[in-house]
Every structure is written in C-alpha cells, then in structure tokens.
Structure 1
Amino acid sequence: MFHSPVVHTPQAGKAVPRGYLPAALAVIINDSFRYQRELYGENDAVPEFQVELDGIAVNGVDMIHWNAEGRITEFKVMLRPLKAVTLIHEKMAAMLQAARR
C-alpha cells in the first residue's frame, strides 16, 4: 500500500509506486539532499530527510513497513511545509505527464 502526500486515498499494488518513485527521486535528489536520522523497529523504518528545492527547505519522512518475508507492505511519504508539498506535487505531475506522452 502506497500513501502519497498529495493523493487522499491509499494506492494498492506495485504499479503506482513504480511509476512515482523514479519521478520522486528525479525531483528531490540533488546536492543538498541529506538524511537527518533513521528510526528502526522490527518490521519498520522511518528515514527522515531534508533537501532544498527552488529555495524552499523541504523536510520529509518515509514510513516503511515490511512483512515477515521482508517484502514492503506499506510505504507512506510525509512532507512539510505546505509550500514544499505543493512544489513537489507540481514538479512530479509535470514529469509524470511528460512520461505519458
């Protein structure tokens, strides 16, 4: 199950994350990207990251849960501030739209 910061319903299956992940990485990975800390549980990880995009300091976490077989069963992305969510949404939407053409 994939939980996007901009889509209000969870997205089931592998197809959606496989489409979103390359776009997300292309948008947020730059020289300023840094992991701030990582929290772990038996079947969970929560890496916290920070990046600057177009002059906006973006903070985010990926909340990842996996089953006993080691397969990811839930992936939830949270971002702040609202300006960052809006900016990333716009950039990813443009990238995904261009990929469909």
Structure 2
Amino acid sequence: MHPFRQAVEARDEAAIEALLADDVVFTSPVAFKPYPGKPITAAILRAVMRVFEDFRYIREIPDVAEPSGRDHALVFEATVAGKKITGCDFLHLDDDGKIDDFMVMVRPLSGATALAEAMAAQFERITEEASAAVAAEEPSS
C-alpha cells in the first residue's frame, strides 16, 4: 500500500503533508490553473477531507512500465453533497520519494459540479491556511 494512501485512510494530515515535496504542483479536477507549492496543496487536501463523505480507496495501480516506481494511480469513491463520485489521484514522486505532481480526476459531471461547489465554499479557509503556512516558513528579520 502506498504511504499516501495509508496517510489518507488514517486521516493523518501531518503525514499527508510530510509526503508532499516543497515544489509539488496540484492539478484540481475542477480548477483550470494548477496550484504550485506545498502550503496550498496541503490546505486543499485538508479541505477535501472536510467535504468528502464515505471516502475510500478501491484500487491502487502502480506504473509497471516504470521501473523507478515513481508513478501511482489511486482510485477512490466518495460522496459530496449527496452525489457519489469516482475519482483517481495520480501521483508522481521525485528523487526523494516525495509527491511532486498530484493530479485528480473525478466523474460523473454531477459529482464534479458538487465537488466544485463544496470546494468553492472552502476556498477562503484554504487560502488563509496556505498563507499562514507560508508566513510561518519565512525567516523573521
């Protein structure tokens, strides 16, 4: 089992964040532009944990053609605002084994729409959490 899957299933936010590379890029299924950086990606993943109900991974697909084992696909099911969704987390690992590319896809459209609405309601909090994390990392003068 992939360590990210273990962390998510344990709902261990600290472990999830620890698996992210500082320069991770998160590509959302409902936003046009990717989100670069660990603070925003961690904040988005915390929000997802708040809006997904009955979340469970149902399949883990390693890239058998890639001997380095850097690409993983984790298929999941969840409910958002009463809509059942199926999705996939596509993870790419850097040389240190940290997630440096994280793309999510979901279906059906009604579920993606419900997810977009639920995440839009979380976005002010996501932005505040990411900004606080960045401020905490900055050296004080």
TM band (smaller chain): 0.7 to 0.9
Task: Please report the RMSD computed on the Cα atoms of aligned residues, expressed in angstroms.
Answer: 1.5
- Structure 2: any 5+ residue segments left out of the alignment? 1-24, 64-68, 129-141
Structure 1 segments of 4+ aligned residues over 6 angstroms from their partners: none
What one-letter code is carried by the residue in structure 2 that aligns with 1:27?
V
Instruction: Choose between structure 1 and 2: higher helix proportion.
Output: 2
Secondary structure (helix, strand or coil) at the match of 2:120 reads helix
Greater Rg by CA: 2
| Partners of 2:90 and 2:96 in 1: CA distance | 18
Answer yes or no: is the 8 Å Cα contact 2:73–2:90 preserved in 1. yes
TM-score of the aligned structures, taking structure 2 as reference length:
0.63
The Cα offsets for residues 56-99 of structure 1, whole Å up to 9 and x where unpaired, read as 220000000001211211000101111111111111111223x2
Aligned to 1:4: 28
Answer yes or no: is the 8 Å Cα contact 2:80–2:118 preserved in 1. no
| Partners of 1:65 and 1:88 in 2: CA distance | 23
Identical-residue share of aligned pairs (%): 35
What one-letter code is carried by the residue in structure 1 that aligns with 2:114?
L
| Partners of 1:46 and 1:24 in 2: CA distance | 18
- Structure 1: any 5+ residue segments left out of the alignment? none
Q: Which residue of 121, 124, 141 corresponds with 1:94?
A: 121
TM-score of the aligned structures, taking structure 1 as reference length:
0.85
Secondary structure (helix, strand or coil) at the match of 2:74 reads strand
